[in-house]
Amino acid sequence: MTIRRKFFSNSIGSGFGQLALRSGVPSYRIKQVTALTLIMSFIGAMLSGCSPLYVMRAAYEEGKILWRREPIADLIQSSKVPPDTEEKLRLVLAARDYAREALEFNVGGSYASYSYVDRPDLTYIVVAAPKTELKPYTWWFLIVGSVPYKGFFSKDEALAEIERLKADGYDTYLRTAAAFSTLGWFDDPLLSHLLKYDKVLLSEIVFHELFHNTLYVNGAGAFNESSANFVGHRAAIDFVRERFGADSAEHQRALLLWQEEREFAGFIAEVARELGGLYASDVGREHKLRLREEVFARSQAEWSRRIAERPAHRFHGFTRQPLNNAILMHYIVYLKDLDLFESLYQACGRNLRRTVQVLREAVKTGDEPFQAMRAWLDRHRSDAATAMR
């Protein structure tokens, strides 16, 4: 679920807080009820193309998450919190401070609170693509525009959507998601099941989601997710280096995860180019469907060969995963042009705050975001070449 910040400020909360003092109702309860009312209104607006039942379920589940929030600062004072959990909670608070102060993210109140999730899977994400095209099926929402996936809090509803898409001839993919961003409309809490991740992955998730609060381009799903993926990893690398040291196991793991992410992104781009050539050819549909299976098999064999000596590689599972275009589109959305982001980072003197500023400036042109990035890099290189003459 993604809801973008637009016009709200602290005036709503403070106004209802004053009402609470006069009415005798605790102010935090008034604010929670107000938040639930806003959730219904905004989710209803955002999901205007969806069924009323879908809107109500989404509002109900998001409302539960926000209703259960507890300040992390209070939790870490409790003697009931295990030491390893306390360490991760302090890490999250430090990460949000780093995001706000060092990177100038729009943090707001996000990740200052904790919310218990009473089920193993938070949301179910549906992805679809045509069988002979590498392009995502998109869903349109009023506030955020077209997105290449749709989230459900109910697995049965997600499976029903999968069956509808299959009946229409699409490849489909169903996955779960551990976290999501409301893009700053609400103060997103740390969800309880995120504490199962190690310190590096937990930091990366927090930075990824907080970046969505900072930069989100309507209708540009691949840019939004790939840029957050890049920023999440690079921010985690810098953050754990400062917190644990350059020689620490945490910093070395953060570097390795980013290296593996870029490596797999490059490989998926190779697969996409080969499939793109096949799908653009003049051969018949049935022949394309047969040939794509050969591409899938060769790709998995090649990836298995490349990581044969690295069984712990983050993307080792790709070698055993049943493939179709929807699964590949999921990877493409989150891994598109990661080396382009890395080039931008290098051009900005390996300064992530400056890189984020450039990203925000580049997309203001209104051009396609990846084209805007390339245009900025071309100008930068041209200016650098001129300066050297």
HSE, side-chain direction, 13 A CA sphere, residue 139: 19
User: What pLDDT score does 321 carry?
Assistant: 94
Tokens 């169903």, residue located: 174
User: pLDDT of 206-254, one tens digit each?
Assistant: 999 999 999 999 889 999 999 999 999 999 999 999 999 999 999 999 9
CA 275 to the chain's CA centroid: 26
- CA angle centred on 335, ends 102 and 146, rounded to 5°: 90
Q: List average pLDDT for each run of 10 residues in the chain, which is 389 residues long.
A: 34 27 32 41 47 64 76 91 94 98 95 87 91 93 80 90 97 89 83 93 96 92 95 98 97 98 98 98 96 98 97 95 97 96 97 97 91 94 81
Are the C-beta atoms of 127 and 328 separated by less than 8 Å? Answer: no
Bridge partners, 113 (sequence order): 71
The residue type of 348 is C
Instruction: Using DSSP bridges, classify how beta strands 150-152 and 170-177 pair: parallel, antiparallel or unpaired.
Output: unpaired
Concatenated DSSP letters for 61-77?
HHHHHHHT-EEHHHHTT
DSSP 184: B
- What's the chain's length in residues? 389
User: What pLDDT score does 299 carry?
Assistant: 98
User: What pLDDT score does 182 carry?
Assistant: 77
User: What pLDDT score does 78 carry?
Assistant: 87
User: What pLDDT score does 242 carry?
Assistant: 97
User: pLDDT of 100-155, one tens digit each?
Assistant: 999 999 999 999 999 888 877 778 999 999 999 999 999 887 767 788 998 888 89
CB atoms within 10 A of CB 73: 13
Cβ contacts of 56 within 8 Å, gap of 6 or more: 40
The answer to pTM > 0.95 is no
Helices (H), the chain: 11-23, 27-46, 52-67, 72-75, 83-101, 155-167, 199-214, 221-244, 249-280, 285-306, 325-335, 338-347, 352-363, 369-388
